Amino acid sequence: MYYFIVNTKSRSGKSLLVWKNVRKVLKEANVEFKAYETQYEGHALKLAKDICKKKDEDKSLIIVGGDGTVNEVINGINDNGIEDFDKVKVGLIPAGSGNDFARGLGISGNETDIIKEILEREKIAKDYNEKKSFAKIDIGQVLWKEDNLEKSRVFAISSGVGLDAIVCKKTNTSKLKKVLNKVKLGKLTYILLTVETLFSMTTFMADIKVKDEKFKLNKVIFMANMNVRAEGGGVPMAPNANPADGNLHMCMACGIPKWRTFFCLPLLVMAKHEGIKGFDIIDNEECEIVTDKPIVLHADGEYLADTKEIKYICLKEKLCILNKVK
């Protein structure tokens, strides 16, 4: 059975047209499906959780929405227990303003072509009883301490602390984003808020543990642990990241004045920051971070908490993808 979770409010409502085009293809192909439209923040998580509880063995869950909807869906699957990732295949029709997850998987084209490709791939897999034709990709898990309790969330794109997390927190409530989305300039929101936040934020210190290696960082501006190469609407924090390589990729900026970081931002956007003093990328299967003060933490652009203790884990080959992954 095909289940669709549709966020018709993505991209300032333009995703509704995307869904209408997808639904037209489904009806013309006489495909049996059930569709659920999200009504409030967190609804996609609940819908995904409920879909995973359904008894049919062959479940295909297709998301029509942006990166925030993707994050809610994978956390809804995870909410029933990590083993539920083996019970459902996930597809994506990108319909957000950033679409970093789709970009990271190499999903391109219009919604009509994408849904037709998914249907064709499923048909071939069923005809030849070949489930292995679908790629399995990594996702990340972040754990943190809040009020002496350990909490966790999985993520598809990235999770980080510092500058990018503060920008994400601001973007989620930004009126500027809504205005720029209407004129198809939504990505400018991240750029403008990044510049403003860079000069208004305070840096922090962090103790890092990767495998058996421990080290201390001073004057940290941001630490972004990436599953795919880009976040924030296409900023390639980890240009060589691959969601099927069994690693997360921590991009860090520290130990340099903020004004110098400002002049390095164009290089970051052009993926030319590797090797520049103050920037570093560390591949990690697991990573622990302890900061000297509570720092803003995000996952896939969603604000999680202000916290001092964070742990990252790469969940290898956990998510089965219906789309063709490039």
d(CA 115, CA 131): 18
Q: Do 300 and 228 meet the contact criterion of CB atoms below 8 Å apart?
A: no
62: nearest Cα among 32, 82, 88: 88
301: nearest Cα among 227, 246, 239, 248: 227
Buried b (16+ CB within 10 A) or exposed e, 127-164: eeeeeeebbbbbbbbbebeeeeeeeebbbbbbbbbbbb
pLDDT at 198: 93
Domain definitions of the chain by residue range: 2-133, 139-315
pLDDT at 146: 85
Q: Do 159 and 142 meet the contact criterion of CB atoms below 8 Å apart?
A: yes
Q: Is residue 126 classed exposed, middle or buried when 0-12, 13-18 and 19+ CB atoms within 10 A define those classes?
A: exposed
203: nearest Cα among 273, 260, 278, 253: 253
In this structure, the number of other CB atoms found within 10 A of the CB of residue 218 comes to: 11
pLDDT at 131: 54
CATH topology of domain 2-133: Rossmann fold (3.40.50)
d(CA 178, CA 194): 17
- The amino acid present at 276, given as its one-letter code, is I
d(CA 94, CA 104): 12
Per-residue pLDDT of the chain (326 residues; tens, 9 = 90+): 999 999 998 876 788 999 999 999 999 999 999 999 999 999 999 999 999 999 888 899 999 999 999 999 999 998 866 677 888 999 999 998 889 999 999 999 999 999 999 999 988 777 666 555 799 999 999 999 888 899 999 999 999 999 999 988 887 776 666 666 665 566 667 778 888 899 999 999 999 999 889 999 999 999 999 999 999 888 999 999 999 999 999 999 999 999 999 999 899 989 999 889 999 999 999 999 999 999 999 999 999 999 999 999 999 999 999 999 98
Q: Do 300 and 159 meet the contact criterion of CB atoms below 8 Å apart?
A: yes
| CATH number of the structural domain 139-315 | 2.60.200.40
Model pTM greater than 0.75? yes
> Which residue matches tokens 């009020």?
147
Tell me, what DSSP letter sits at residue 235? B
Contact residues for 149 (Cβ-Cβ < 8 A; gap 6+): none
pLDDT at 186: 60
SS3 164: helix
* CA trace torsion 70, 75, 77, 83 (10° rounding): 130
Buried b (16+ CB within 10 A) or exposed e, 41-63: eebbbbbbbebbeeeeeebbbbb
Do the first three CATH levels of 2-133 and 139-315 match, i.e. the same topology?
no
- The amino acid present at 180, given as its one-letter code, is L
CA-atom Rg of the chain in angstroms: 20
In this structure, the number of other CB atoms found within 10 A of the CB of residue 33 comes to: 15
> Which residue matches tokens 């490039």?
326
- The amino acid present at 65, given as its one-letter code, is G
